[in-house]
Structure formats: C-alpha cells, structure tokens
Structure 1
Amino acid sequence: MAKKKFSNSLNSQMLRVTLIPLTLMAIIIVSVSVSGLYQLVANKTKEELIRDAQLAQYVLNSVYVGEYWAEDADGDGEPEMYKGEQRINGDDMMVDDLANMLEIEISVFYNDVRLITTLKDSNGNRATGTSASVIVKKEVLEDGASKFYSNVMVYDKKSYAYYMPLVSEAGKTEGMIAVSRSQESVKQELLQYIFPICVTCGLTAFLMGYIMVYFNRKLAGRIRKMDKYMNTLADGNFDVDMPRELMLEDDEIKHLANDGKRMAKAIQMLVDFDALTELNNRRYADKKLEEIRIKSVERGMKYCLCISDIDFFKKVNDTFGHEMGDYVLKKVAEKLKAGMIGKGMAARWGGEEFMLIFENRELDIARRELEIIMDEVRTIWVPDSDRQITMSFGLTALEPGEDIDDALKRADDNLYQAKESGRNQIICK
C-alpha cells in the first residue's frame, strides 16, 4: 500500500503543538521583560531627572543669591537674566559642565522663555529665546507644580523631561528649571539590558525546541508505524506481524496496537450487524442490494424491496423514554427477523426504519407474506400501557436492470404514502 500523504499529518501537528507554544512563550517572556525593563528605566529616568533638577537648582542657589529677574537692557531682543545682582546667562560654562556630568540637557526659563540652555541645533546654536509648550506653561508656570513628562518634544526631540518651577520668596513663579534626556539615549540604555535577555531566551527556546522536536519525531514515527499496521488489519490481513518499533516501549502505542489486532477480528464478526437489534445493518444491506441487482440481471431472479417504519415511534420515546424505545426496536426486529426466515432478509435501515428484501418473490406473494409480518408486529404492546405498536410499509418489485436507487425511491415513496394515508398499512406498487 502506497504511503498516504496527509494534508495535516500528525508530525506537522506535533511540530506546531511544540514550536508554536514555545515560540509564544519566548515572545511573551521577552515582551514582558522588555515592558518591565522599559517601565523600570522610565521610573529610573524620572527619579534621576528629579534629582538632577534639584541639584541644578541647588547649584544656582549656591552660586547666586537673590531673586530671579530679567530685562532687555541693550534692546537686542535677548533679555539678560539675573539672580539678585548677578547676571546668570551669557556665560554657559557652568551649566554645560553640570549637564555633561549628569548626561542631561538643562534649561532655565524666565517665565516661559529659555534664557539659559544646553540645547543646541545641528549648527551648534543654542535654543535660547525659545518658548515652552502651552501644556508645560499651563501645568508648571500657571499651576506652580513640578511635572514629569515621559513623551514630550524638547527642541524637536522626543524626550523625558522634568520641569520644576522657580518660586520667589513672595511665592510667585518666576520661571522654570527643565532637565531632559532624549528618548533615543534611554532606548540605547534599555538595549543594554534587553540584548542579554533576548539572547538567553532565544538560545533556551532553541535548545528546548530541538529536544522536543527530536522526541516528537520519534513518537510520530512510531505512530505512523502503528497507522500502517492498523491499515493492514483493516484490509483483512490479520496474520501480519506487529512492527518491532511498536514493541520497543511498554506504552499506550504498544497496547493500542495489541488491542487493534484483537478488535479487528471481533469487528470482522460485528461489522455487518446492528448492535441493538442484532439485524444486519445498512452497510450490509447496501452490499446485499448491489448483489441482488446483479443477480436480477444475470440470472433473471425476482426481488421485492420494502422500506418500513414504526408508527409514532417518536411519541414512544418522548412518552416512555429511550430505554422503552430500544425495547420496542428490539421487539420489532425479532418479529421482522422471524417473519423473513426462508423469504429473504431484514436489516435495520436507520433509526426506526427497516429494510426487507424478498427473494424469488412476485409482488403479490411478497405482499401476502408482508401482511402476516405486519399482523405479528401488531401483537407488540408497550409494557404497562395501552400503546400498540404498528408499522407502515412501502413495498415494490425490483425490475431487471433497474438501478437500485430508483427502486428504493419507489419503495420510500410508497412508505410516505402509507404514513400520509393513515399508517398501519402496506402500500404496494
């Protein structure tokens, strides 16, 4: 037997079951780790910026004494900023050194205008004279509250920034000290932590995946052997030896293979019969119908087909329960089986329907014999009730060379007519 190609083989399923959860686990671990680290770095950056802003203010208060004020004395449009009597803008060496030491950007605002800053454009020009954003002005200057921003534009760069108001002795907010770090620099710091985590997770996932794939393939190979062995049994070759690979381990696969061999022989006896009624089943009846079609053509043998149905069987189930329904099915099957001895065969067609095949019978003879069977069925009563069991029958003759489906349709139409016109009768044509 050629090796069957599966569109969704067990091996591929096991690979998916192994690798997909493993990949998802690695992704989740990395994602959670990155998210946690990102939050950790963001919190750390916030704490550092708060500390740096306080340090910058401390330095300014230590070096310069007095209140903050500004004026444009020379009229050049660039105000001079003072703290007390000392001018604090114009010479940026101290603030540059402090910013370099802390690895941050520092700006000092008078009202909402930068007058001292380490921020520079690509040409090296400082961002003095630029204004704070409307949000910062509202939340820091007007409300007089310090504020941390995790995603704010500082001189065209996305940054982490902390703004702290400069308050006079009278309690008036004169300006702000702003310290910031670009998000890019924070990301670079974050990558230093993320890279080892990603490498560790990747290597661990690869090693675990390799081990799991190895054992899954080994298991899938044994299952394929069992599948081939079971197919051989299904083809009726019951004397074939069990593959050695299935005997290597005392596990479920070995036991399934042994059970399969035992069950195959038992199934061979049961496959043609209905377990409940012990009549032949529809599979066997279909095979038998094909045989009689051939015989009717080749030998000129005459057959009659009948499809029958228990009247109001659903009411029996609904009223008395399914156990009583099974009892009625078995009793009806006994009557049909006994009535067909020497005449042909009875089979359970499905549900409460039965197929009767009369061999070497003209239609009128088959009808008379069927009437006897119908009378026998009428002797069945549901125990401890006044419910009598009756059946409706659709009988027809198989014409030589006629397609079986056509004859069955005719019998089924006859059965339908019998049920529609009162039940408990035979319609024969």
Structure 2
Amino acid sequence: MSSRAGSTAGSSKPGTSSSNRRGGGTTSELTSPKGTSNNNNVGSDSGPIGGFANREEMIAYFSKEKITPNLSPLSDYTFIHGCMNKKENELLEYLSKQLGVADYLVDLRSSIYLDSLCHYVAFCKEHSFSTRQTMEFINLMETLRKGCLSSESSNIPINTVITNNQMPTVAGAPKFSSELELQEFVKTQLFEMSKPLSQEQVSDLEKQIQDEERKLEEERLKQEKEKKKKPPSSSSSSKKMTKDEEEELLRKQEEEQRLAEEKAMIEKKRKEEYRSKLPLFNIDDVAIVSDFILKTVVQHYHLYKYVYEENQPVQACDYQVSVNSIMLDCVYPLSAMLQDVAYMQKKEDERRALEEAETRRRQAEEEERLRLENEARERYEKEKAERNAPKLTDENLKEIAEYLKHEVMTGLEDKVSVVETRVKATEETAMSLPTPQKSNSRPQSSAKTK
C-alpha cells in the first residue's frame, strides 16, 4: 500500500488543482486547527466567496461552531432520485444544502466527503443502477466508512436511520480492525444483497408499502380538510389583485401541480422497485461493486481512518510521503482516481466515436452497393427483354413488305380518286357557264410581212 501511495503522490494530476480549489486552496487544515491557513490571500483577489467578503471571514464564520451534517436524507428514496437527476456541476451544491455540509469550502474533510458522495452517484449512473440500488450502495459505503473508524469522534457522523430497504445496512454498523475484516463483511453483505427475496421478505415489503400508502392517504385527507376550513377569498379581494399577482399565483399553482405529479411518479417507481422479486444486485453488479470497494476503501484503509477521524495520526510505515500529497493523490474522490476515471471516459468516448464513424461508413457502403445492384438489375432486365424479342424471318419480312405496299397503294388510289373527283367537278362547272361570242374581224397583225 505504501508503494502505491508513493507512486501516486509523486505524479502531477489534473484533478489536484480542482481539489485544491474546492478545499479552499490549502490542505494544512488536516493537521492544523480549523480556521488556520497557510495561504490567507486565497480568494481575496477573486471577490466574494459564498456570500462572504473574503476567505478569512468565511473561515471565521465556520470556525465558530462545529458543523454537524444531517445524513438522514441518504436513506430517502426521493432524495437519492433527485441526486441522480442532477447535473454533475449541480450535485455538489445540492448535497451541501440538503445534508447541511456547509463548510466544504474551508474544511477539506467535508470537501472529501461530498466529493465521495458525488462519485458514488456518478458510479451508479455510469452502471445504470436504479434509485433503490444507488441508495443501498451509498448506505453500504457509509457502513464501511463508519466501520473504519476506531472511535465515535469522527467529524462526519454516520447516518443511523433504519429504513424500509431490503436490509438495514447502515444501522448497527460493525467495526473493522483490519482490512481483512472489512473484506469479509463486504463479501457477506453483497452475498445477502444478491440473494433472491424470500416469500416472507416480499410479504414484509408489501406490508410496508401498504402502510405507507395508508399514511399518505390520511395525510392527503387531512390536507383537504384544512383547505375546506379556510375561508374562501371574496370576489372583491380577487378583483384587487394586480396582473402580476395573478400571474404569480398561477405560476405557484402550476409549480405545485408539477411537483405533485413528479412526487407521484417517483412514488410509483419506488413501489415498483420494492415490489420486484428480483435480487437487489445480480452477479455482474456484485463484481462491479466489489472492484469499486477494493479500489476505494480496502486499498486505502488507514488513509480512510485518517480522513474521517479527528486527531488520527498516519503512521510512517503506512505512507512514506507527505500528508498533503496523500490527501490530494491517494483518496478516490480526489485527483488520483479522478484521473483514471477521466482517462477511461476519454477512451470510451473515442471508442464510441470510432463506432459511429464505422457505422456511417458501413451505411454509405450499403447505399452504394444497393445503387449498383439496382443499376445492374435494370441492365439485365433490358438485355433480357432484347434477347426474348421475336426474330423476323424472310417470310415475315416479305409479308411486312407486301402489307406496306398494299397500304401505300391503297393510300395512293384514294388520293388519285380524290383528285379525279375534283377535276371532274371543275369540268362540269366550266361547261355549265355561258359560251362567249366570237368576232368576225381578224385582228391586224403588228408584224409586217416581208
């Protein structure tokens, strides 16, 4: 483990700068009291930070009292569903507000914790986990985090709320004195999660869902009664509303309706998932989750204890590098694992781009092949028609010549008869005209007789 940490710590990672910014520009808070910093001018030149005038004011505010997050939403199906629908750049702020981890800009441990949750969600989305699977996976990771701590004085508490999941993986979390115990617990837990549900478990889940439906129905009826008790607004007051107020009221009503529809859809999806008799994780999911836990928790067991426990020293035999390098290069939520994930994502994008280019090339080749086939088919049909055309013999040609001659002669005879008829008619007309009288006097010749 020490060689792995030393190799990762000596390299420069692209995620280091982003992790440094998120941690407030320093890692000395891990070994120094909260509120102290070796780089006090960070953020002073970049303007207000999170509503504070400068970094010093922000640190002073969060140093007044210890932040105690509320981790109960991690067992809420609706909350996990909302996390999975958030964009990557929105998830961190969403988790900070919902869990109450407000000091993640000045406390590196809080920053690491939120980063880890972000990457748990990203991991589940990458492998197409359902909302229920994601919630169980996060609860399992929380159980492992709790079990790595040797005392209850961790600065990030554990969520101890028991939910109606398949197994209460968070409540009563065990303690792991070594990596081997942690591995054995993970194997046992994943084995239980991959077992098909028994009829008794299915009945229990169905009963829990029915109880929830009954409670929701009672709450709905109670709200309807409260609405009926409220006095209706008079027509005079409604007339006094301005156009902007009416638009705002309409917008609020539409927003309430949208939220109600979204909540009903999520609740329907949750019931379908919990009513499924399939195991929570199949064999492929178990392999993926096991590999993830091995790389993020087991290989950095001692570092995990250091990150989440106050005043937990790091032994020299564990890591032969500086604490700052460990925090920035060895913990999964920060740069070391992020670089691997980014590299894998890049390779995946390149592979998809090549596949799309190959698909387009094959499609173009197929279109060209079809075009050539159509042209060849048309030529073949034309040649076939020419070959199958009847051939003319000498007798056929003679008959055709006689036929044409007969047609030509018939046409000439018709034309001659027409001409003769016209000539005859002209002669008859001329004969019917009166004959002019002839003069007896001989006209004198103009020419002289020699």
Give the TM-score normalised by the residue count of structure 1.
0.21
TM-score (norm 2): 0.20
Q: Which has the higher contact order (CA 8 A, sep 6+)?
A: 2
- Structure with greater helix share of residues: 2
Higher strand share: 1
